[in-house]
Amino acid sequence: MQFLIRSACVVDTASSLNGQVVDILVENGLIRQIGENLSVGSGSLVIESDNLHISAGWADMRVLAQDPGYEHKEDLTSVCKAATAGGFTDIAVLPNTQPVIDDKGTLGYVRRMAEGQPVTVHVIAAVTKKAAGEDFTEMLDLHHAGAIAFSDGTHPLQNPDLLLKTLQYLQPINGLLMNRPEEQLLTRFGQMHEGIQSTLLGLKGIPALAEELLVERDLRLLDYVLSGEQGAGSRESSPGSERPAPSVLHFSTISTARSVELIRQAKAQGMPVSCDVAAHQLVFDDSALAGFDTNLKVNPPFRAKEDVAALWAGLADGTIDAIVSDHSPQDAESKNLEFDQAEFGITGLETIFPVLVTYNKGLSLSQLIEKLTTRPRQILRLPAVSIAEGQPARLTLFDPTRTWIYEHTFSKSKNSPFFDQSFTGRVVGTVHNGQFKPTK
């Protein structure tokens, strides 16, 4: 299949074409030619749009696909359609399914079901059996079977000895451990951020301390591993270098100012750590819960205004490496309840880019796109994507100035607080596996 992308502004700081408006000819899944005023044969598709921009295909590091086991909330087909509509060519799915992705059989099922989808699905396998935090999975076997990283996903690793041994076990295979920091003994029955707002609403709070203790603990454990014989030479040799060393430990969905500062300090010391933030954490603070809207019930919870400002600052200075959707589809029966009975989670695949553009706090377009492309791929050890002749065409097309209203979702679940909201910034489509998928 051949098609031409007409007059697109390249957004890719690693490319000599960055900022240039070019035509891109794609043929049989490869970028055949880049130039100006290119022509194609009659009958070939021409993709053009006002203020069209193009970048490497976006990658989301944290998606709860709910398949197998909870297909009534989401399945691999619907989550891939939602991801495509959101501009993603790659997603990494969490192991919290039923059964949990803790063996080669379940991992193989997900990989087979993902074949032929419009996005590439990468599987994060569980660290412990049933993600229960007790017995190790066969991580080496899972790695060879195609697991891209290891995490208990929505279940934070509580046992420090287990986390320590996981870091040691993954070192020989250059494996990545992803952990959402939460000391659950401090958050039991918690509903929202612990503060004045939770007191006014009469809801049990989730203290920021619960996250920060785990960030500090995990960093100390990583330092212990790196200081031992197994970790000799594992520290980044040149902190602040243009291409960081591969991350060994990744913190998922951090939410507090103190967490940002702890990770900033660790990076300054050359520790191979990385972190991400969920897009919705950059929009709301705990005051948004005054109306008890269960679509705003998430974990980690929306924090104080000062924390939101610190998250934006962490993105700006590179402390926070990636932005994720933390896509967590929940059916109506799980959300249309009293606030303290409702499940946590937001669907976010389709709204990540417009949320970032509409609520942007001073980051350049290039900085935002880097958090969706270059850094996630580096952290997950995925091959780099180049907008260059002869390279595979894995691309996202978008218009950062187009206004639109979010009225329709491809997800099976509707638990988004953004429905009927006007946004600036719209995905035009994706190019992947030789196909152009327009946003509908």
Distance CA 214, CA 202 (A): 26
Q: Per DSSP, what are the bridge partners of residue 438?
A: 429
> Residues near 119 by Cβ (< 8 Å), separated by ≥ 6?
80, 83, 84, 88, 89, 90, 91, 430, 432
Distances (CA, A) of 369 to 30, 289, 414: 22, 29, 26
Task: Report phi then psi at 138, rounded to 5.
Answer: -85, 80
Distances (CA, A) of 289 to 160, 211, 340: 33, 20, 12
Distance CA 11, CA 366 (A): 6
Distance CA 184, CA 206 (A): 9
Q: Which of 326, 331, 340, 420 is catalytic?
A: 326
End-to-end CA distance of the chain: 21
- In 3D space, the residue among 206, 194, 210, 69 whose CA is nearest the CA of residue 131 turns out to be 69
Token pair for 123: 């599987």
Is 23 labeled as catalytic in the residue annotation? no
What count of other Cβ atoms lies within 10 Å of the Cβ of residue 403? 12
Radius of gyration over every alpha carbon of the chain, rounded to an integer in angstroms: 21
Token pair for 32: 């055949």
Distance CA 348, CA 327 (A): 5
Token pair for 215: 């960030």
Distance CA 167, CA 174 (A): 10
Residues carrying an active site annotation? 326
